[in-house]
Amino acid sequence: MPVRKGAAKRRTTIGNSVPLPPIVPPKKSKKSENNTSSIRLSTSRVSTTRVSILPVQPTTAPGVVLAFGQGDVGQLGLGSEVMERSRPALIPNLDNVTDVCAGGMHTICISSSGAVITFGCNDDGALGRDTSEEGSEFKPIPVELPDKAVQVSAGDSHSAALLEDGRVFAWGSFRDIHGTMGLTKDGIQNKPLELFSRIKVTKIASGIDHLVMLTEDGQLFTCGCGEQGQLGRVPERGAGRGDSRRGIGYLLEPALVKLHPRVKVEFDDVWAAGYSTYAREKNQGHIYVFGLNNYNQLGLPDQSSQYQPRLSESFSGCRWSKICGGQHHTLALDSEGTVHVLGRKEYGRLGLGKDCEDAKVPTVVPLLKNFKCVDVACGTAVSFAVTIKGELYSWGMGTNGQLGSGDDADLYEPALVQGKQLEGRSVLRATAGGQHTVVIATPAKL
């Protein structure tokens, strides 16, 4: 169950393997750790024989970053004195950001120069940098990487970055019902570690405790916790760390997700929800799903976890541009900008009204049907939509101020997020973590 106010702080958690080569330790940066507005990434260490640059466009136009919700471990980036914000607050000196992802209790960003910046909880190495200096986890500080990043992702205790040459670096740890799994067989990784040395990746996505990678030839690789089927390549009998004779490395080493031998599928996009994965087939746009389905959040009629990719008929008939999910619900944005929801109704996370039922198939959110939306986001039991006009709507559990509404009341239908720091700005992108929300917005109009 999601965390209610006053409860103890906690996280949101209720093939042939590819070898993992060791990372070459990067040189120490001499740049200031306190001013991220002018972060530039040195590329002098990058080999001139590397593979070609990925044709990946920035997630959004460069903008400023605002945050709200719980900040007790630094996940808001507002300093050690700020424990909570119920309205969007501007993070100082964090400009020209093109991508952001909220993890369970930490945040990761990319600047327009390709630098990766992190802040928040670093208990299991999720920040990818040294936080021995008191209060440093509360400050946006860059992570040392060998090249420019184009995408980032974050789960409860892990983070990942996709570099412009197609390499993936990750750090932190995955967790399961027994506790910390480590990022690799060697345990927790406090600094970035290269996951692939020979395979070019074009997109990454993180669930709470799993990582999905889409390669340039349309294949999926996964690693992490597979207890609910979210890896799509481990049978139920071997999904736990002690269930397989192959050992924990079978789960932690990235490996190919295989469909039926007679089924040839190439994917062109992938998304990870809390305990599930959604992949879009390239030609017809069909959605293949695997993972937790206890509230029909995969769009499948039976409520059993899926341990192998399965075509979700409920998603047929639309071209989907983005899918995201919380603990027990899913948001899907179609190519026309319409927002659909499915899964569990409690706390208003579906936005279908207080008297609605659980949604077993993608259902249009009535109050948003006349808006063209460009982004959607989910936290554990919260939902967000960004309109083409730059407006941010939120609904779901109001605890922790994560809705940005100014109080802790649950919202059963989408409501416009307002605040002084949003005046004169347009929201470009939203992301929600365990107890906090982060958005990229345009600089204020003078």
User: Is it the case that residue 6 has pLDDT exceeding 60?
Assistant: no
Under the banding of pLDDT at 50, 70 and 90, the label for residue 243 is low
Q: What is the rounded CA–CA span in Å between residue 122 and residue 302?
A: 38
User: DSSP secondary-structure letter at 291?
Assistant: E
Rg, C-alpha atoms of the chain: 20
Neighbouring-strand partners of residue 43: none
CA distances (Å), origin 352, targets 159, 252, 345, 395: 33, 38, 8, 10
Q: Quick check: pTM over 0.85? A: yes
Q: Minimal CA–CA distance to 279: which of 325, 337, 218, 223?
A: 218
User: Is it the case that residue 1 has pLDDT exceeding 60?
Assistant: no
User: Is it the case that residue 40 has pLDDT exceeding 90?
Assistant: no
Q: What is the rounded CA–CA span in Å between residue 241 and residue 85?
A: 38
Q: In the predicted model, what is the mean pLDDT of residues 296-303? A: 97
CA distances (Å), origin 391, targets 69, 385, 400: 18, 8, 22
Report pLDDT digits (tens) over 271-286.
999 999 999 999 999 9
Buried-state track 213-236, b at ≥16 Cβ within 10 A, e below 16:
bbbeebbbbbbbbbbbbbbbbbeb
Report pLDDT digits (tens) over 351-406.
999 999 999 999 999 999 999 999 999 999 999 999 999 999 999 999 999 999 99
Mean pLDDT value across the chain = 89
**What is the phi-psi region of residue 337: left when phi exceeds 0, alpha when psi lies from -120 to 50, beta otherwise?**
left
| Tokens standing for residue 367 | 């109050």
Domains of the chain and CATH, by start: 64-441 (2.130.10.30)
User: DSSP secondary-structure letter at 243?
Assistant: T
